[in-house]
Structure 1
């Protein structure tokens, strides 16, 4: 399929309108901190049991600890600025990532299921994630770290909209 050249600039896709909950920053920082502590503990044990440590092992240890600290400081804020979502009468639009970014749009006529998930830590922060499964080879769309009340409203809205579409979403 070829497209005909048009006059003027090409159309641009606007970003999704909604951000995730501001509490997501603390949640992401805590989960990254837990991961960092596990990593640091494993490194400390490995470092302690090595009888003779070459200089590069110490350098590697310092680099890994430094990288996890940078990750703890930068990732949650960048991720909060990037993660966006929107539900329109015709589609679900998401953008996610912090190093690499993924933007997905799924027509509501293709939605097969709408799921919500809330682990113990998410529950403590009052957050919930929504997964929208479509008839797409790219897999489901996920809207991570919404306020629980907002997430329940979005699930209800998506259920109502997709329930009104006829067909089997394939």
Structure 2
């Protein structure tokens, strides 16, 4: 099996770590609030502390493993007939999207991607959307335009 050759921008690792840190911070804040509420009602504080600790431990373990494995496995390729995507941490997924089925292509950029100079490309068909999550902004725009043009040409050939 030959895998697609293009990889994500290495800055995507930072973006994934930043997203994980934001989730961890939100969990910690929720845990503190839950503990304060429990204290207010004079209930046992051990329950929210233990639950928060377990959730934080899971999130930290996920942050330590998932971004590196996801980055190592993420690959994509655009050919004149289709878009080939391969990714996954525990379950590897390979999707080949025929360009003739592409309805629209867009780039998107949230605050974490923007801070890292990255953007995502979303390819939509009638049934689903597929996303390439971490490309340099210029590369994402070029890829969006290329996929849109190839999709248009594929539909003209049908």
TM range (shorter): 0.7 to 0.9
Alignment of 1:113-124 (within 5 A): 113-124=104-115
Find the aligned partners of 1:52 and 1:168 in 2 and give their Cα distance: 69
User: 1:44-86 deviations in whole A, cap 9, x for unaligned?
Assistant: 2212332332755543332112112112222211211122111
Partner of 2:133: 144
The equivalent position to 2:99 in structure 1, one of 108, 122, 145, is 108
Aligned residue pairs, count: 155
Find the aligned partners of 1:20 and 1:162 in 2 and give their Cα distance: 22
The equivalent position to 2:50 in structure 1, one of 48, 59, 62, is 59
TM-score scaled to structure 2, two decimals?
0.86
Flag structure 1 segments of 5+ consecutive residues without an equivalent.
1-12
- 1:154 paired with 2:112, answer no
Q: Secondary structure at the match of 1:14?
A: coil
Find the aligned partners of 1:160 and 1:122 in 2 and give their Cα distance: 25
- Bigger share in helix: 2
Given the superposition, is the C-alpha separation of residues 168 and 55 from structure 1 closer, same or farther in structure 2, using an over 3 Å criterion?
A: farther
Structure 1 moving runs of 4+ over 6 Å? none
Aligned Cα RMSD in Å?
A: 2.1
Partner of 2:14: 26
Partner of 1:164: 153
Partner of 1:8: none
Find the aligned partners of 1:61 and 1:158 in 2 and give their Cα distance: 44
